Structure 1
Amino acid sequence: MLSSVLREGPPAGPSRPEFWRSPLRGPWLTSVLGAVLLAGITVLFVTGLLSYAAYNPDLAPSNDQTPDKGWLGFYLFPWPTSPYWLYRLTQGIHVTLGIVLIPVLLAKLWSVIPRLFAWPPVKSLSQAFERLSLLLLVGGALFVFATGVLNIQLDYIFPGSFYVLHFYGSWVFIGAFVVHVAFRIPLVVRTLRARSMGKELRTPISRTKPEPADETGLVSPRPAEPTMSRRGALGMVGAGSLVLLGVTAGQSVGGWLRGTALLAPRGQDPGPGPNGFQINKTAAVVGIRARDIGHQWRLVVRGGGRERTLTRDQVLALPQHGAALPIACVEGWSTSDQEWSGVRLADLAALVGFSGPPPGVFVESVQRSGAFRSAALRDNQVRDPRSLLALRVNGADLSPDHGYPARVIVPANPGVHNTKWVTRLTFGERV
């Protein structure tokens, strides 16, 4: 019965080659879009790896939102504190480029859609493997881009699971992507060499012709009359990417461009004053109560078998230092440099007996709900003289939403690891 169905040919609908009639589809257009994606996705993957490394996930369970990563964490390294804007740069590129590539990705999927409905679905073992890799490639791309955009726009729509979903989804996608590139790169190179980019971009609609039929199955056997040139198609995709760049990049670049970040929910300044810069989560959202951060608040500093308990006035009485540092969030937004002042983490380590180079520290918050209620910092982060337990910002006390009575601020640190509403610091112990 199966053999008779195959002999009768594809059923009516998208499985028939003549169903797809655009005269623009063909190896050349697909290769151009593929080359752009090859460069863009490579940068996305590298900056994504750097973003993951910045969390120091191998330092403590509290830092690792992706348990059982195994050998997928082979490349991890101690995240540096210099340059202080490193995470702001890498994560800003990661998020902005990911959004900018969406029109290119959609255009690429449009250009190869006949292949997704190729008939018969499976005709050999090698074709079955190719179809499976294509499924993983397309599904992985849509999944990774969709989860990233949803997390940016809706803020923790995947409570406790976004990092796991995005991490493993990215590895599945990049695996399929590498296999696909390995098989297709010779065809892409031949196709781009055989057809002049400059000549194609000078070709108007009136002279736009279908590409010669070949083994890819992308060229329609019954093409319709063109309503757009390939120049126009690429221009439309490029314009879409430029628009997305214009309404996204400001959240990372800052300055007057911050006002153009229309697609960034936290891309606008929340108001005037010393505390008038973006926040990730408010005190109310994470369950901070007035008594948690009022006069009864205490800072507990532990380590080396010692413990000190300090009021906020006692912390203020310690030597105060300043640092100009931004806040940079995994969702891509960042602030300009803010003037923080407080006690160096290294000085707090000395309070409990660490007179030499200080060890790492485990930071705990009074936060009652939500992710990242604690974080572990490496010894190199504690040693940096710009790493502070901040009490003030831009000359004023921290607001409750910015972490009053005290918060951590560390150069080049992901925003969620600059823990707010700090109540306990434990030096030199894995927690």
Structure 2
Amino acid sequence: MRDDSRLPTSPGFWRSPLRGPWFTSVLGLVLLVGITLLFVTGLVSYAAYNPDLSPVNDKTPDKGILGFYLFSWPTDPHWLYRLNQGVHVTLGVTLIPVLLAKLWSVVPKLFTLPPARSLAHALERISLLLLVGGALFEFTTGVLNVQLDYVFPGSFYPLHFYGAWVFFAAFVAHAVLKVPAAVRNLRRLREEGEPGPTPRSAPAPASAQELVSPRPDPATVSRRGALWFVGGGSLLLFATTAGQSFDGLRRTALLAPHGGADPGSGPNGFQINKTAAYAGITAARTDQDAWRLVVTGPTGTVRLSRSRLAELPLHSSALPIACVEGWSTSDQWWRGVRLRDLAALVGYEDDPPDVFVESLQQRGAFRHAALRANQVADPRSLLALYVNGEPLTPDHGYPARVIVPAAPGVLNTKWVARMTFGETR
């Protein structure tokens, strides 16, 4: 008989003694919880942009029924987006070793022949292919967005959004097929202790035996040891990423783009998502003698210089900046004019409406943004002129920027030029 053990379609090709239903089951159950939480926090993050409010906020057009769950984003608690996105990004990075180990543990199943033994087996194989491809796509695009400000071809938002739905649909289908077997495998572990390269009691189903090498190499580490190794990798990634959301721990976030030291010192020395130079902001356009804020509403248009804005009633709010890449700052002390007071200047005395905000920004996304009426009405929502007791610097939005509780950083528009109340375009 011809020896085909050199081909990946042969069970003899895969020699690791670590592979088996128990090892795969443990990793699978961790991912069942982790990926479900990732999916939920991702959907919540998308809702925070209020994509059904205005086309300028909607980076995933033609989403159809996939936007069934969208809701008006609240302003309380003020740290809501900071927590949600911090969990989403940090958990995604932390799960990378678990995901890679899980994919490694099931790779022989991708090569088994025949491709389908039955309809149920065919559905399982299809779900597995979509699951593997979707997982690699989602984690890759997510990491690229966090680490490199996104270099993947096409827009990050629709690719990541639609990819998440395809991936999670395959994930649910695969979980329905595999969770009962995973639970049985773990129950067997409790009864027998850690399994060896081959089962020691009743034989596992044929689908599970596909993971067990018929001719395993000598073991150099136990399966428990391998799980500790995977867990250690996840812990290391967590320890070198999570700190980007906490000022006191930021220097520990060695693998995060907003880890390390703050970009400066003093009242304006906290993190930023884009510099004035990157956005194409010039001193000539923000000079206090030339710059005017244009505010429009039903009673007309008002043009306000920065000195005139500073003469209006000023209020303070302690709010963080939180970005889609997962980093955030602690609460900064902002001072400026309430958005609802600006709405009152142009005819909205009682119930301020939605507002369309335009920036001087020349390059990059979110040069325009829309805010909901509840965000405008919140007394903590400001057109800020000062932060931590000092005027804004150009990188932080001088001469004026929006700051709204619980909103993604990109909706806190910097270098504001125009505000149109009652219109979101």
2:247 pairs with 1:255 = yes
Give the direction of change, closer, same or farther, for the CA distance of 1:180–1:8 in structure 2 (3 Å limit).
farther
SS of 2:279's equivalent?
A: coil
Instruction: In structure 2, give the amino acid aligned to 1:288.
Output: I
Q: Shift in Å at residue 195 of structure 1?
A: 1.3
Q: Shift in Å at residue 357 of structure 1?
A: 1.6
Q: Aligned runs of 1:219-230 on 2, under 5 Å?
A: 219-230=212-223
Give the direction of change, closer, same or farther, for the CA distance of 1:8–1:124 in structure 2 (3 Å limit).
farther
How far apart in 2 are the matches of 1:179 and 1:103?
A: 23
Instruction: In structure 1, give the amino acid aligned to 2:223.
Output: R
Consecutive unaligned residues in structure 2, runs of 5 or more: none
Match of 1:15 among 9, 18, 32: 9
Q: Aligned runs of 1:268-347 on 2, under 5 Å?
A: 268=260, 269-294=262-287, 295-347=289-341
- The aligned counterpart of 1:414 is 408
Match of 2:106 among 98, 104, 112: 112
The CA deviation string for residues 257-312 of structure 1, in whole angstroms up to 9 with x for no partner, is: 11101111122311111110000011111111221111211100011141101111
How many residues are treated as equivalent by the alignment? 418
Match of 1:426 among 407, 420, 425: 420
Higher mean C-alpha deviation, range 376-385 or range 261-270: 261-270
Give the direction of change, closer, same or farther, for the CA distance of 1:346–1:229 in structure 2 (3 Å limit).
same
How far apart in 2 are the matches of 1:197 and 1:342?
A: 65
SS of 2:56's equivalent?
A: helix
SS of 2:418's equivalent?
A: strand
Give the direction of change, closer, same or farther, for the CA distance of 1:158–1:383 in structure 2 (3 Å limit).
farther
Match of 2:95 among 70, 93, 101: 101
How far apart in 2 are the matches of 1:298 and 1:184?
A: 62
The CA deviation string for residues 217-263 of structure 1, in whole angstroms up to 9 with x for no partner, is: 111111111100011101000100000010000011x1321110111
Match of 1:389 among 383, 387, 406: 383
Given that 1:24 and 1:210 are in contact with CA atoms closer than 8 Å, whether structure 2 keeps it comes out as no
Q: Shift in Å at residue 430 of structure 1?
A: 3.0
How far apart in 1 are the matches of 2:421 and 2:269?
A: 32
Q: Shift in Å at residue 355 of structure 1?
A: 0.8
Note the aligned Cα RMSD (angstroms): 1.8
Higher mean C-alpha deviation, range 398-407 or range 17-26: 17-26
Match of 1:71 among 65, 71, 76: 65
Given that 1:25 and 1:210 are in contact with CA atoms closer than 8 Å, whether structure 2 keeps it comes out as no
Instruction: In structure 1, give the amino acid aligned to 2:233.
Output: G
2:159 pairs with 1:165 = yes
How far apart in 2 are the matches of 1:160 and 1:273?
A: 38
How far apart in 2 are the matches of 1:313 and 1:337?
A: 26
Higher mean C-alpha deviation, range 293-302 or range 337-346: 293-302
- The aligned counterpart of 1:240 is 233
Q: Shift in Å at residue 160 of structure 1?
A: 6.4
Given that 1:343 and 1:390 are in contact with CA atoms closer than 8 Å, whether structure 2 keeps it comes out as yes
2:133 pairs with 1:139 = yes
TM-score by length of 2: 0.95
Instruction: In structure 2, give the amino acid aligned to 1:112.
Output: V
- The aligned counterpart of 1:267 is 259
Consecutive unaligned residues in structure 1, runs of 5 or more: 1-6
Instruction: In structure 1, give the amino acid aligned to 2:270.
Output: F
How far apart in 1 are the matches of 2:232 and 2:21?
A: 22
How far apart in 2 are the matches of 1:365 and 1:28?
A: 55
Given that 1:363 and 1:375 are in contact with CA atoms closer than 8 Å, whether structure 2 keeps it comes out as yes
2:352 pairs with 1:358 = yes
Given that 1:360 and 1:379 are in contact with CA atoms closer than 8 Å, whether structure 2 keeps it comes out as yes
SS of 1:284's equivalent?
A: helix
SS of 2:122's equivalent?
A: helix
The CA deviation string for residues 96-117 of structure 1, in whole angstroms up to 9 with x for no partner, is: 0000000000010111111011
How far apart in 2 are the matches of 1:430 and 1:282?
A: 26
How far apart in 2 are the matches of 1:58 and 1:305?
A: 27
The CA deviation string for residues 169-203 of structure 1, in whole angstroms up to 9 with x for no partner, is: 11110010010001111111111112129943xx8
Higher mean C-alpha deviation, range 356-365 or range 11-20: 11-20
SS of 1:141's equivalent?
A: helix
How far apart in 2 are the matches of 1:12 and 1:239?
A: 33
Instruction: In structure 2, give the amino acid aligned to 1:52.
Output: Y
How far apart in 1 are the matches of 2:374 and 2:5?
A: 64
Given that 1:287 and 1:368 are in contact with CA atoms closer than 8 Å, whether structure 2 keeps it comes out as yes
Give the direction of change, closer, same or farther, for the CA distance of 1:123–1:8 in structure 2 (3 Å limit).
farther
Q: Aligned runs of 1:112-131 on 2, under 5 Å?
A: 112-131=106-125
Match of 1:210 among 195, 198, 218: 198
How far apart in 2 are the matches of 1:296 and 1:266?
A: 34
TM-score by length of 1: 0.94
Instruction: In structure 1, give the amino acid aligned to 2:214.
Output: P
Given that 1:10 and 1:120 are in contact with CA atoms closer than 8 Å, whether structure 2 keeps it comes out as no
